[in-house]
Structure 1
Amino acid sequence: MLTDRQQAVLDAVLALMVEQGGDFSMTSVARRAACSKETLYKWFGDRDGLLTATVRWQASKVRAGNYDSQRLDAAALRESLENFAANWLKVISSSTSIALNRVAVSHAASGKSNLGHIVLDNGRFAIGERLKPLLEAGRAAGLLAFDDSEAAFRSFFGLVGRDVQIRLLLGDGLKLTAAEISRDASQATAQFLALFGAERPKARFI
């Protein structure tokens, strides 16, 4: 669990990425966050450790919401999926995520650092593992029908993201308002439920 002070450090890293791309030093982070380099190394280890913590911090903002897996109904499933979709759209359309992903793509292409793998492992893959329990709970409750939770997640991910992230990464001036994010999250959820929704089997009485 990150302290408020540690969160402030990671926000400083994200701010530097927006301003400078990936070419920042531990010294510049320490200066921006008003702490010592020794503190950074103590908290996060090396630069890769700091980057990993930063990616995890940004990805943690994408949540599936609170739900009771033992008492999941159609309304709670829809609400949780919509919350996840809205959180994810809000995060990926932020200037910090755009900068972070641009740096990760650049470093992955050049081999400059391990940031590409860090973003995949602690961003996309971690987010998938965060949502799959909800999908599996929906299947157990008879609300969803699918064979593979990874494939179901990828379908939902695609319906939510559409071409938004690639457009933003390539410099499109797309601006998503809160109302547009809410609308798109609701629409993606409805489309997903149309593809994977299943009615609960009726009880049989003997």
Structure 2
Amino acid sequence: MPAPPDPKGPTARQQAVLDAVLGLMVEEGDHLTMAAVARRASCSKETLYKWFGDRDGLLTATVQWQASKVRAGNYDRQRLDAAALRDSLANFGANWLQVISSSTSIALNRIAIGHAASGKSNLGGIVLANGRFAIGERLKPVLEAGRDAGLLSFDDTETAFRTFIGLVGRDVQIRLLLGDELKMTNAEIERDAARAAEQFLALYGATKSGPRIRSL
């Protein structure tokens, strides 16, 4: 059985192992074995099994590690104003866009999609649970804090979150997954995320007459 996950996250040595997994996915796609990871990370298979339990445990930890790079940022819930909310949304969007457009995320998602279609493993479910759904739970408190502060107005947090992610991501991820050689600079990512934040606030920003749109 794997050791219980450390609430502080993986150690530096474990992070190196997870980065090795991501590197192998980029280079070799689905041909990932515990032996290959052990060789790349310069550790024993016994250590991998001790830390992660089995291949699915290793993949789960890898997805969690990749998703942990998307952060909601710091904000004061008690003193949240329009500028801080806009900055939090823009920073989160830029952070998320950088992660999903990276070669490691593209490789990981391609493998997960293939596994989900073939039933080869539960990697698709692992990516959904520890990637997209976990990231949603990270941003939703920001949206709800904005609503509590009277800055946003929406009925359903999930719908608001999906709208924001759609504005940030547009068609970028699907294009990359299908092999488009789309190259985005950090400046372009930050610009797109800032624009998405402005568009989201235009849709959900609270006004004296009520919300600009309401969830269906």
TM-score range, shorter chain: over 0.9
Deviation at 1:23, TM superposition (A): 1.7
Q: CA deviation at 1:199?
A: 4.2
How big is the shift at 1:105?
0.3
In structure 1, list runs of 5 or more residues that go unmatched. Answer: 202-206
Find the counterpart in structure 1 of residue 162 from structure 2.
Answer: 154
Equivalence map 1:32-181=2 (5 Å): 32-181=40-189
Partners of 2:208 and 2:45 in 1: CA distance: 56
| Superposition deviation, residue 178 in structure 1 | 0.6
TM-score by length of 1: 0.96
Q: Deviations over 1:130-167 (max 9, x none)?
A: 00000000000000000000000000010000000000
For 2:198 and 2:36, locate their aligned partners in 1 and report how far apart those are by CA, in whole Å: 45
Question: Given the alignment, which residue of 189, 195, 199 partners 2:197?
Answer: 189
Amino acid in structure 2 at the alignment position of 1:28: A
Let me know the Cα RMSD of the aligned residues. 1.0
Identical pairs, percent: 79
Partner AA of 1:119 in structure 2:
V
- Give 1:22 shift: 1.8
Deviation of the 1:185 alpha carbon: 0.4
Question: Counterpart amino acid of 1:181?
Answer: I
Give the structure-2-normalised TM-score.
0.91
> Number of matched residues?
201
Mapped pair 1:14 → 2:22: yes
Query: Aligned partners of 1:147, 1:166: CA distance in 2, in Å?
Result: 29
| Amino acid aligned to 1:102 | R
- Where in structure 1 do 4 or more consecutive aligned residues deviate above 6 Å? none
